[in-house]
């Protein structure tokens, strides 16, 4: 057991590290090819924080454990909002003015509601997975078109877009870019395989479902990049990017991560995903909308009080999960 716990922890660290190196290599290579830093920031860098979840979901589904992937997607969204944003706001209140974020929070709520409806019948089909991945492609293309149209004649004045552009790594040699890209490509699936194998072993040993393992240990572990990115963003006074990373990651988790389980391993899902976890994810997302737009649709602040409330929501969810395990 101790060996598998150690493998789980090491594979989580390697998974997150290799995802970062993959993004670094891909971003640097794209920059060397003349692609705009703004486009790189809104696509490759933005998707980078969801790379661990995507690889975990794909690996779990290929091994016949789609509930772990579903739990990872749902749990990561709950963790990102309730734990990551909660801790970030407690550390330092966020003042957000980006019009992109104000547009994407309602969009996230709508996408979350669609995911809940898809899981409501305890069955996740290939068609539903295809719909989500198609929505992902449409979302990326639409985001790029809107941004490029706005910046056609003048640089963007949206704080989140400006901050996202700054996050693009400095140019390095093409040889170095390719090297880090290859390192990421090799270590990402390898670490994900060890992560899934050790998670399933631990779950079976303690009589815990794959879904709960995905909702807790794996979800929290794969959400560490969002926490690190959010803390670094507020330290650099980039409040819009801190929230934007979380919103973007949650959209990717549903459209690009959850979809993989339907595309690779469609079929029945754990009933708790529909009756307990997906509704909680929807409720947490709705709470975020209320906290942000409760009074006015202008500049909003996520205060320490709101951060504390979000953290309590996360703790309550963990209590709910483990109290049901004992019953």
Tokens of residue 181, six digits: 């890209």
Position 297 scores a pLDDT of: 44
**HEC string for 251-274:** HHHHHHHHHHHHHHCCEECCHHHH
Question: Cα separation of 7 and 176, whole Å?
Answer: 29
Question: Cα separation of 28 and 172, whole Å?
Answer: 6
Tokens of residue 93, six digits: 């209140």
Burial tier of 309 (Cβ tally within 10 Å: 0-12, 13-18, 19+) = middle
Return the closest-CA partner of residue 91 out of 240, 227, 216: 227
Query: Within 10 Å of residue 134's Cβ, how many Cβ atoms?
Result: 12
Question: Cα separation of 75 and 205, whole Å?
Answer: 21
Alpha helices in 207-267 (DSSP H): 210-213, 219-222, 224-235, 239-252, 259-264
Tokens of residue 193, six digits: 């395989």
Superfamily of segment(s) 49-54+64-159+199-326: NCX, central ion-binding region (1.20.1420.30)
User: Phi first, then psi: what are they for 95, rounded to 5°?
Assistant: -110, 120
Position 259 scores a pLDDT of: 95
Q: Break the chain into its structural domains and give their ranges.
A: 49-54+64-159+199-326
Position 171 scores a pLDDT of: 65
Position 166 scores a pLDDT of: 60
Position 66 scores a pLDDT of: 92
Position 167 scores a pLDDT of: 58
The answer for residues whose C-beta is within 8 angstroms of residue 22's C-beta and 6 or more apart is: 48, 51, 180, 181, 183, 184, 185, 188
Alpha helices in 92-173 (DSSP H): 99-119, 126-150, 159-166
H or E element, residue 300: strand 300-302
Return the closest-CA partner of residue 25 out of 140, 187, 157, 142: 187
Whose tokens are 């979840």? That residue is 53
R_g of the chain computed on alpha carbons: 19
Return the closest-CA partner of residue 322 out of 272, 274, 288, 282: 272
Question: Cα separation of 288 and 290, whole Å?
Answer: 5
Position 37 scores a pLDDT of: 64
Tokens of residue 191, six digits: 């670490």
Tokens of residue 7, six digits: 């493998």
Position 74 scores a pLDDT of: 96
Question: Cα separation of 270 and 209, whole Å?
Answer: 9
Q: What is the pLDDT along the chain (327 residues), one digit of tens a residue?
A: 788 888 888 988 888 888 888 878 877 877 777 776 666 666 676 677 778 888 889 999 999 899 999 999 999 999 999 999 999 999 888 887 767 677 888 999 999 999 999 999 999 999 999 999 999 999 888 877 877 776 665 555 555 566 555 656 666 788 888 888 888 888 888 888 888 888 888 887 888 888 998 899 888 888 877 787 788 778 877 777 778 888 888 999 999 999 999 999 999 999 999 999 999 999 999 999 888 876 554 457 788 999 999 999 999 999 999 887 755
Q: Is the four-CA dihedral 127, 133, 136, 137 of positive or negative sign?
A: negative
Q: Is residue 311 a contact partner of residue 319, using CB atoms and an 8 Å limit?
A: no
Give ∠ CA 48-50-53 in degrees, rounded to 5. Answer: 135
Question: Cα separation of 74 and 282, whole Å?
Answer: 10
pTM: 0.86
């Amino acid at each position: 057991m101790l060996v598998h716990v150690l493998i789980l922890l090491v594979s989580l660290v390697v998974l997150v590290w290799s995802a970062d190196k993959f993004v670094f290599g891909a971003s640097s290579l794209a920059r060397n090819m003349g692609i705009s830093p703004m486009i790189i920031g809104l696509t490759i860098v933005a998707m980078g924080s969801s790379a661990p979840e995507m690889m975990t979901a794909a690996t779990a589904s290929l091994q016949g454990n789609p509930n772990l992937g579903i739990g990872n997607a749902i749990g990561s969204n709950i963790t990102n909002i309730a734990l990551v944003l909660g801790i970030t706001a407690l550390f330092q209140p966020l003042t957000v003015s980006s019009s992109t974020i104000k547009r994407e929070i309602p969009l996230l709520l709508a996408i979350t509601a669609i995911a809940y409806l898809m899981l409501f019948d305890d069955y996740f089909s290939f068609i539903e997975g295809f719909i989500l991945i198609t929505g992902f492609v449409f979302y990326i293309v639409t985001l790029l078109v809107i941004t490029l149209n706005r910046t056609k004649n003048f640089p963007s004045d949206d704080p989140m877009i400006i901050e996202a552009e700054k996050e693009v790594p400095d140019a390095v040699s093409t040889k170095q870019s390719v090297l880090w890209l290859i390192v990421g490509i090799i270590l990402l699936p390898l670490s994900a395989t060890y992560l899934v194998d050790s998670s399933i072993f631990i779950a079976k040993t303690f009589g815990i479902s794959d879904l709960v393992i995905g909702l807790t240990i794996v979800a929290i572990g794969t959400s560490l990049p969002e926490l690190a990115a959010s803390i670094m963003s507020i330290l650099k006074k980039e409040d819009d990017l801190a929230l934007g990373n979380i919103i973007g990651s949650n959209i990717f988790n549903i459209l690009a991560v959850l979809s993989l389980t339907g595309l690779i391993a469609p079929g029945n899902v754990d009933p708790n995903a529909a009756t307990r976890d997906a509704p909680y994810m929807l409720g947490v997302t709705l709470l975020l909308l209320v906290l942000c737009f409760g009074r006015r649709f202008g500049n909003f602040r996520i205060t320490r009080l709101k951060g504390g409330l979000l953290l309590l929501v996360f703790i309550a969810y963990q209590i709910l999960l483990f109290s049901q395990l004992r019953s």
